[in-house]
A and B are shown apart, each in its own frame.
Chain A
């Protein structure tokens, strides 16, 4: 910026800076709002049980300890056994939900995007019907349905439920991706000797990988964090998923805050790792250069 500009137009510059600073301050507040609880969670998890309850609080643990983590991850003691089983249950439910969601959503979204069939519009909007109501409304009807199906106290009940919640949005999300992939790419592939299915598999699918990954993460996180259905459908201790398990496990007698925080931290690890590994797919504009706009 030239110095003459500073002298002749000081006012607009000041205004721009004012807005810029407001924006920065806002972002800092947002950052603190989201990051501080996480930081506090980690700090508490490495304190001793006594230190965690002190007032005024220890901002930085005087005697950091990994005892809570050791306890949780030790398959020898009962706490560790339970925690690892819950973790495994959550992982199983979330993975199966994610895989089924992708397997169903990919062809469904492709069909909605490419084919014109009777009732297409109606079907497309009816998949959203579920999302118009709060999840709690479906709690009792679904419980009755699951009991009738004999699925109460099985992971199958959760997987089915999570699919009914996750699929509509997954289909919408993926349809958007398929809409953005030029249809000429498939046409070219079909002329080049591919069948319709080969064109879908060899040309369209690699291009929709970012969409598929976004959909998968969305389904996984939804299933991983879900609490109320898991708490309703499952009662047997060995079947509980993490969100329910952590709560039951730590509030029976007195609350072990460092243990609770350590468990929460471990629970957030898979989600964070998934994001870190796959975030580049969210931003990679793979179709760039495919067509001239």
Chain B
């Protein structure tokens, strides 16, 4: 196993940046998820690390070697593809043996290693089958096995679960996590599903538009998103973002809606909005931190219920607040009707404030 360092990595196609100045360090044995919407540059970044596409500028360091110009075969990596990319003409055994044959290992050692890997992944009984005779989950395991059999420095995984059905995905998610813990493997894992990233990874790198937005532990990314994109991308349902304006009366700073209501801010939050470039500030809040009241109460602000989605143990409510949709979660005992007027109370310690112009999170210093 080894650490992976990306330094100012750039990939351009003509004048389009697929990855722009991506810098991050994956420590030895760490599970890092590259996450973002389609076209954000996460797969490009992974392919750059793999050496499948040439980099435009920057450095990729695996272990203590700069691998910028090395062929994929010389980078000591293994990759699991979204479509598994199993060799259809080869049996499962031959699929697992292929990377070892390419390294010219003796036949008995290949046999031993393949059987070992097959045992770890519980696919020993499938060794003589062809990929097309396997189920999706079994193919996935074989793909993992082909990566595992070689004992590479780094595992690269490109959306390995996105072709599985929902139930199998949850199961394989825990298996890959287990796989990481047992092998203490360095893994770079690409996914568009923030839930996979949050549940599996030690650290997540949120990307958008070819730029690395935030690189931190899932807990930190969840608690302190650096900008509105990260805030709305991580968490389900998404963080609600309400564009408002800052106003000050009698030394009290409030957020004012075009609808006419004011939300007074705590002293710390007031210091945050003082750093905003203009009066435009976006209020962010996660569904679980918003309290819903049926009548006006304290600093609660008025909203109109849009939809109600009971899921059994939690009811999700979407409401219009100052023209924006706000997600709120409620215990199922609270009954609200669409178009009902409600009052929302925000937790001053748990709201997020963003600069309306730069979209960056506002800090109190």
Say if A and B assemble together.
yes
Question: Given the complex, which residues of A lie within 8 Å of B85, measured CB to CB?
Answer: 182, 184-185, 187-188, 290-291
- Please tell me if A289 contacts chain B, counting CB pairs below 8 Å: yes
Q: Is A207 a contact partner of B88 (Cβ separation < 8 A)? A: yes
Question: Given the complex, which residues of A lie within 8 Å of B66, measured CB to CB?
Answer: none
A124 to chain B, nearest CB (A): 21
With known contacts A193-B102, A195-B71, A289-B132, A187–B88 Cβ distance under 8 A: no
Q: Is A184 a contact partner of B99 (Cβ separation < 8 A)? A: no
- Please tell me if B133 contacts chain A, counting CB pairs below 8 Å: yes
B106 to chain A, nearest CB (A): 15
B142 to chain A, nearest CB (A): 11
For B87, give the chain A residue with the smallest CB separation: A203
Question: Given the complex, which residues of A lie within 8 Å of B217, measured CB to CB?
Answer: none
Contact with B along A181-201 (1 / 0, CB 8 A): 010110111111111001000
Q: Is A190 a contact partner of B72 (Cβ separation < 8 A)? A: yes
Of residues 65 through 107 on chain B, the ones whose CB sits less than 8 Å from some CB of chain A are: 71-73, 75, 77-79, 81-89, 98-99, 102-103
Question: Given the complex, which residues of A lie within 8 Å of B71, measured CB to CB?
Answer: 190, 195
Task: Tally chain A residues at the interface, Cβ within 8 Å.
Answer: 23
- Please tell me if B280 contacts chain A, counting CB pairs below 8 Å: no
A81 to chain B, nearest CB (A): 46
B354 to chain A, nearest CB (A): 39
- Please tell me if A292 contacts chain B, counting CB pairs below 8 Å: yes
Question: Given the complex, which residues of B lie within 8 Å of A182, measured CB to CB?
Answer: 83, 85
Task: Tally chain B residues at the interface, Cβ within 8 Å.
Answer: 33
Cα–Cα distance between A182 and B87 once the two chains are bound (Å): 10
Which residue in A188, A198, A289 is a CB contact (below 8 Å) of B79? A188
Question: Given the complex, which residues of A lie within 8 Å of B282, measured CB to CB?
Answer: none
- Please tell me if A286 contacts chain B, counting CB pairs below 8 Å: yes
With known contacts A193-B102, A194-B102, A286-B88, A292–B73 Cβ distance under 8 A: no
Which residue in B73, B131, B134, B139 is a CB contact (below 8 Å) of A191? B73
- Please tell me if A288 contacts chain B, counting CB pairs below 8 Å: yes
For A287, give the chain B residue with the smallest CB separation: B88
Which residue in B103, B133, B146 is a CB contact (below 8 Å) of A289? B133
Q: Is B102 a contact partner of A192 (Cβ separation < 8 A)? A: yes
With known contacts A206-B89, A207-B88, A289-B133, A191–B83 Cβ distance under 8 A: no
With known contacts A184-B85, A185-B85, A189-B98, A195–B52 Cβ distance under 8 A: no
Q: Could you list 24 A-B pairs, sorted by A, with CB under 8 Å?
A: A182-B83, A182-B85, A184-B81, A184-B83, A184-B85, A188-B81, A188-B85, A188-B146, A190-B52, A191-B52, A191-B72, A191-B77, A191-B78, A192-B73, A193-B102, A193-B103, A194-B73, A195-B73, A203-B87, A207-B89, A286-B88, A288-B88, A288-B132, A290-B132
Question: Taking beta carbons and an 8 Å cutoff, which residues of A are in contact with B?
Answer: 182, 184-185, 187-195, 198, 203, 206-207, 286-292
Question: Taking beta carbons and an 8 Å cutoff, which residues of B are in contact with A?
Answer: 50-52, 71-73, 75, 77-79, 81-89, 98-99, 102-103, 130-134, 136, 139, 146, 150, 163
Given contacts A184-B83, A192-B78, A195-B71, 7 further A-B contacts (CB under 8 A): A188-B85, A190-B71, A191-B73, A192-B98, A287-B88, A289-B131, A290-B85
